[in-house]
Structure 1
Amino acid sequence: MAITLHDVARLAGVSIKTVSNVINDYPHIRPATRKKVEAAIDELGYQPNLSARSLRSGRSGVISLLIPDLRNAYFAELADAVMRAARAKGLSVIIEQMPGGKKEELEILRGPRMQLVDGILYSVLALGEEDAHHLDNAMPMVLLGDRIFNGPKDHVTMQNTEGARAATDHLLSLGRRRVAALGAHPGEVVGSAGLRLDGYQQALAERGVEYDASLVIPVISWHRKDGAEAMRAFLTKGVPFDGLVAFNDSMALGAMRVMQEAGLRIPDDVAVIGFDDIDETRYSIPSLSTIDPSKDQIAETAVDLLLERIEHPDSHAPARDLATEFHIVQRESSAI
């Protein structure tokens, strides 16, 4: 038979109401009483009825994380950081992958599963500034990424332009003057690729190095395969280069493999730096220099903002745009 509140109350020698207050973390409970109830819960193995609690409180204790692609190591590690940050706040996380395309993202946002959660962390991929009105609803939501700024919801992002500028300047400071940029999306202005290309160009200008479009390497997407294929095609053109800024680590790792197969020495012939500081960068040969965008800070900030909106649904505080810190992690791929 299932263990009930009555069983816990009888073992602890308190009322059912007191047990309920302890389970729901009511603040005005004497420590000794709380300890007795928690001991009884542990001894009996009592499991609260979360469905009933949700009906009473109007909250499920669950949030949703919408991300583009778990195959991308950055998003997998971000998801892990979000789950840890949420767990510390007593929340559970449902992860939903978005297959790509504006229509699909809107269908997921409006789908029935989103009505089962207390709030949404949404890493925007296909929607842009012109689509911000689709998010103007009562659902607590925090946006992640770089597609929508100054929108109707709180927004947490990394410093894409500043980080890419620092990465490029890092290679230029080593004396490299033919620095290639891997990961461009031609024509993109808003979005990580456009922002990081802007940072790359800013660093060149600040160092007095002329921008050379032949050193910008476009890709379709940001996976390791794309980095490898783009670098293989780039090498066939015979464009001289002595540095490489990859707009994410996965592409950098794919590109390094191709360069090494072609006989290029890293960092002797080509110094390389990526972006995201995914775990594998520590163990590649050579280990990969990168930009650490503070994934844990992104996750913790986003969860805190979302929980604040959940707990104060009637708040009319304006939406906030916050950018986290970053720093350069120098490893063997750009060693002096």
Structure 2
Amino acid sequence: MSCLEGTFTATSYLISRGCRKLFFLGINYLPYEEASLSPNTGIQRMAGFEQALLRNRIQPTAQQFTLCDWTTEDGYRNIIALIDQGVQFDGVVCTNDALALGAMRGIQDRGLRIPDDVSVIGFDGINEGAFSNPTLSTIAFNFDDIAHQAIDTILAQLNSDDELPAGEREPKRLIANYRLVVRESTR
């Protein structure tokens, strides 16, 4: 599953659980046609969010996206700013788990309940998400799978008859497997 597919899965899950006013934290809006072609993982994650909205007949707007650093602190600051500006949302999809953890803290500090008022989902599956309160739903990265792919690629190159120096070989793109991990931060 690609980053695009991962956030598509996360966003589709929130929609299936009744969320209609969704917000994406981490990347500014780009039209899907442009975003889906980008090799940038952050933009791919945003494209998956947008694709899920479109598939569910929800028209995305630039106001549903905020660019920020992918840190816990920025998640907190940006979600507080959105709430204080009166932005209405019932679901937040974040570019990574650190951002989601900060957003959850900000949502709670403003008196909103997770997941009753707002569902939050992250991306990466970091360990801290399993220990947050509430625990964080996420798209978890399969580290074992990517490690095996990397080792297999290195071994194949070592055993190859290809005499080109490593810097001149065609780069190989590895696709990490992800899975949706539903926890307490989503309905």
Q: Same fold, TM exceeding 0.5?
A: yes
Judge conservation of contact 1:242–1:271 (CA < 8 Å) in 2: yes
Equivalent residue number for residue 4 of structure 2: 161
Instruction: Report the 3-state secondary structure (helix = DSSP H, G, I; strand = E; otherwise coil) of the residue aligned with 2:124.
Output: coil
Residue 207 of structure 1: how far off its partner (Å): 0.6
Which of 176, 181, 185 is the matching residue for 1:324?
176
Cross-structure match for 1:224: 72
Query: Residues 235-250 of structure 1 correspond to what in structure 2 (within 5 A)?
Result: 235-250=83-98
Deviation at 1:318, TM superposition (A): 5.7
Q: 1:186 to 1:216 in 2, by over 3 A?
A: closer
Instruction: Find out whether 1:211 has 2:60 as its counterpart.
Output: yes
Ranges in structure 1 where 5+ consecutive residues have no aligned partner: 1-157
For 1:271, the equivalent position in structure 2 comes to 119
Question: 8 Å contact 1:217–1:234 — kept in the other structure?
Answer: no
Distance in 2 (alpha carbons) for counterparts of 1:284 and 1:241 = 21
Contact 1:183 1:217 in 2 (8 A): yes
Deviation of 1:197 after TM superposition, in Å, equals: 0.8
Counterpart contact for 2:28–2:65, Cα < 8 Å: no
Q: 1:170 to 1:315 in 2, by over 3 A?
A: farther
Identical positions, percent: 39
**Separation (CA, whole Å) in 1 of partners of 2:142 and 2:39:** 21
Distance 1:258 1:192 in 2: 25
Give the match for residue 26 of structure 1: none
Compute the displacement of 1:307 (Å): 2.8
In structure 2, what is the Cα distance between the partners aligned to 1:186 and 1:303?
Answer: 36
Aligned residue type for 2:133: I
**Contact map agreement 1:249 1:281 (CA 8 A) in 2:** yes
TM (normalized to structure 2)? 0.87
How far residue 272 of structure 1 moved from its aligned partner, in angstroms, is 0.9
Between structure 1 and structure 2, the one with the greater Rg is 1
Higher relative contact order (CA 8 A, sep 6+): 2
5+ residue gaps, structure 2, are none
Of the three residues 286, 295, 309, the one matched with 2:143 is 295
